[in-house]
Amino acid sequence: DVRSDEEWNGTNKRGGPRGGHIPGALHLEWINFHTGGDVPILKTAHEIRSLLTKINFSPEKNTITYCQGGIRAAHVFWVLKLIGLDNVKNYDGSWREWGADFSCPIE
């Protein structure tokens, strides 16, 4: 889950019917993959891998990125591919689809 902390914890539903996140999802906001400053620059592969380690990310497992509508998730998908991860997919329906389907579990 690459959304903001508020989207992750459900306090910002962004107009959707439910807030929260997909059970078992790891959380790392997409902006953390960039340096600060007026012009964000992508962090190095080493820095990105370090961030992933801090959230107990396992590169051996299949990874599915998601956000609210798939755009931020597509960016992180690209970044993960760029640093050499092969087993990555982007859930293009993202939270907009999952959160609107009341048969889907949430945390």
Residue 80 within any structural domain of the chain: yes
Residue 12 within any structural domain of the chain: yes
Residue 83 within any structural domain of the chain: yes
Count of structural domains, the chain:
1
User: What's the CATH code of the domain at 15?
Assistant: 3.40.250.10
**pLDDT tens-digit profile of 16-50?**
999 999 999 999 999 999 998 888 899 999 999 99
Residue 70 within any structural domain of the chain: yes
Residue 89 within any structural domain of the chain: yes
Q: What was the pLDDT predicted at 14?
A: 94
Q: Report the percent of the chain where pLDDT is more than 90.
A: 95
Reduced 3-state DSSP string for the chain: CCCCHHHHHCCCCCCCCCCCCCCCCCCCCHHHHECCCCCCCECCHHHHHHHHHHCCCCCCCCEEECCCCCHHHHHHHHHHHHCCCCCEEECCCHHHHHHHCCCCCCC
Q: What was the pLDDT predicted at 96?
A: 97
Residue 105 within any structural domain of the chain: no
Q: Give the domain extent around 33.
A: 5-100
pLDDT at 2 over 90: yes
Catalytic residue annotation: 67
Residue 36 within any structural domain of the chain: yes
Please indicate, yes or no, whether the overall pTM of this predicted structure exceeds 0.75: yes
